[in-house]
């Protein structure tokens, strides 16, 4: 199986030993508390789950600025987006803290951090980070808006993760750590694995894209790996997406070719940079390839349609990652060929030869109880989405 990023073995920061975890939770009662923001809590979950291997905790100011400039830490580790614990407080001193979860009622302790340094970003540095990470300073960009509101105080240092927030309770069949996914891939006997990232339900084009990648790469299996954390307003909730994907796989994929799972992270909408982060943590969970398609991890028109592919050519040094990407073009149903194709592979087609629907048009149809054509969406999946959209109007 592919090695994790930056180390020969995976080093998750979750305290797996129950007795040690109980001791730490008891100690946490005596420690000063810090209530995290949702982004820092999601980072804790990803660190605990092994997805952010080989990091040992939250990064410091020097690392953040180095990553923004050169996609590597101050010590030279390739890394695409800073993993930070930012706070709006300005009176914190270094020490040992109980980190509390903002996303669970009662704010239970999610981790303990040894805060080794307390530093401040200047306004200029914060804007520089946002510009480099997101490629824009537009306050309407949901990632920029969130990031610039997290605070300027940088709390860096190692953490011990004590739970995975709300994800195991809300998504017991779907949430999996990188450790668990590696073990399941091993148990299934898969030698070559393709990962598909999604924050949306999967329509016919997504389904066929997974099938194309598996066939062309001669992969044993596909991990459909969905984001379970916070999204922008208007995105479809994770339980609905989960239902859609499970319905599609049950009806249209052979047994033991697809592993459905999810990870606990808040969407950043950082386009190319986030695509590279997606590759890093898919390598950590055991995937040999990541499908990167049109506007991967993007939002609006902030990024070019294939910027998330070209960054792997222009900003990722040779050998920095072991995982490879499968480059996908726009996909659509060809009326000529009676199947979904990559549009670049059908040079004899005109736009009228494809069935193309805008997201807005599809949402309108679903809200009115009208199923999109079967060439666009499987009827079983459309039924799940129609029920959801119609429930919004009740």
Is residue 335's pLDDT more than 80?
yes
| Mean local confidence (pLDDT), 204-232 | 94
Give the bridge partners for 86, in sequence order.
Answer: 154
Is residue 373's pLDDT more than 90?
no
Q: Which CATH superfamily is domain 171-392 in?
A: HUPs (3.40.50.620)
Is residue 358's pLDDT more than 70?
no
Active site residues: 199-200
> Are 292 and 309 a contacting pair, CB within 8 Å?
yes
Is residue 370's pLDDT more than 70?
yes
Per cent of the chain over pLDDT 90 is 81
> Are 15 and 300 a contacting pair, CB within 8 Å?
no
Q: Which CATH superfamily is domain 18-168 in?
A: Sulfate adenylyltransferase (3.10.400.10)
Cα–Cα distance, 315 to 384 (Å, whole number): 40
> Are 223 and 194 a contacting pair, CB within 8 Å?
yes
Both tokens assigned to 288: 């040999």
pLDDT tens by residue, 37-78: 999 999 999 999 999 999 999 999 999 999 999 999 999 999
> Are 177 and 164 a contacting pair, CB within 8 Å?
yes
Q: Are strands 95-100 and 109-115 parallel, antiparallel or unpaired?
A: antiparallel
pLDDT of residue 359: 66
In whole numbers, what is the pLDDT of the chain averaged over residues? Answer: 94
Is residue 126's pLDDT more than 80?
yes
pLDDT of residue 394: 54
Q: How many CA atoms lie within 13 A of 165 on its CB side?
A: 31
Is residue 171's pLDDT more than 90?
yes
> Are 250 and 387 a contacting pair, CB within 8 Å?
no
- Domain coordinates of the chain in residue numbers? 18-168, 171-392
| Mean local confidence (pLDDT), 223-240 | 89
* Fold equal for 18-168 and 171-392: no
pLDDT tens by residue, 299-330: 999 999 999 999 999 999 999 999 999 999 88
**Sheet order of strands, 339-342 included:** 339-342, 331-334, 354-355
Radius of gyration in angstroms for the set of CA atoms belonging to the chain, rounded to a whole number? 21
pTM: 0.94
pLDDT of residue 310: 97
Cα–Cα distance, 195 to 72 (Å, whole number): 24
**Residue (of 71, 76, 90, 75) closest to 129 by Cα position:** 71
């Amino acid at each position: 199986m592919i090695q994790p990023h930056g180390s020969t073995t995976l080093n998750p920061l979750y305290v797996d030993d129950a007795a040690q975890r109980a001791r730490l939770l008891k100690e946490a009662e005596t420690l000063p508390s810090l209530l995290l923001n949702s982004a820092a809590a999601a980072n804790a979950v990803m660190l605990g789950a092994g997805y952010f291997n080989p990091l040992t905790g939250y990064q410091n100011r020097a690392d953040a600025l180095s990553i923004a400039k050169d996609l590597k830490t101050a010590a030279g580790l390739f890394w695409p987006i800073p993993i930070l614990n930012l706070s709006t407080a300005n009176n914190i001193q270094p020490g040992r803290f109980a980190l509390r979860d903002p996303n669970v009622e009662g704010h239970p302790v999610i981790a303990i951090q040894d805060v080794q340094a307390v530093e401040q970003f200047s306004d200029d540095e914060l804007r520089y980070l946002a510009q480099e990470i997101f490629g824009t300073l537009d306050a309407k960009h949901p990632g920029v808006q969130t990031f610039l509101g997290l605070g300027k105080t940088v709390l860096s240092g190692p953490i011990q993760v004590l739970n995975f927030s709300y994800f195991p309770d809300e998504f017991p069949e779907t949430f999996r750590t990188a450790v668990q996914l590696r073990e399941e891939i091993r148990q299934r006997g898969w030698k070559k694995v393709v990962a598909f990232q999604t924050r949306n339900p999967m329509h016919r084009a997504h389904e066929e894209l997974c099938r194309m990648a598996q066939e062309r790469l001669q992969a044993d299996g596909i991990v459909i790996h969905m984001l379970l954390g916070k999204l922008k307003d208007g995105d479809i909730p994770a339980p609905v997406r989960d239902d859609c994907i499970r319905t599609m796989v049950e009806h249209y994929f052979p047994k033991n070719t697809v592993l459905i799972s999810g990870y606990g992270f808040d969407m950043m909408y950082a386009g190319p940079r986030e695509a590279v982060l997606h590759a890093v943590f898919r390598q950590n969970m055991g995937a040999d390839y990541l499908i990167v398609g049109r506007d991967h991890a993007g939002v609006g028109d902030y990024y070019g349609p294939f910027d998330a592919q070209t960054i792997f050519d222009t900003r990722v040094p040779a050998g920095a990652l072991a995982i490879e990407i499968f480059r996908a073009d726009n996909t659509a149903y060809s009326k000529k060929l009676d199947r979904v194709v990559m549009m670049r592979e059908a040079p004899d087609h005109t736009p009228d030869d494809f069935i193309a629907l805008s997201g807005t048009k599809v949402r309108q149809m679903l809200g009115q109880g009208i199923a999109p054509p079967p060439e666009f969406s499987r009827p079983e999946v459309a039924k799940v989405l129609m029920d959801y959209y119609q429930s919004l109007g009740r």
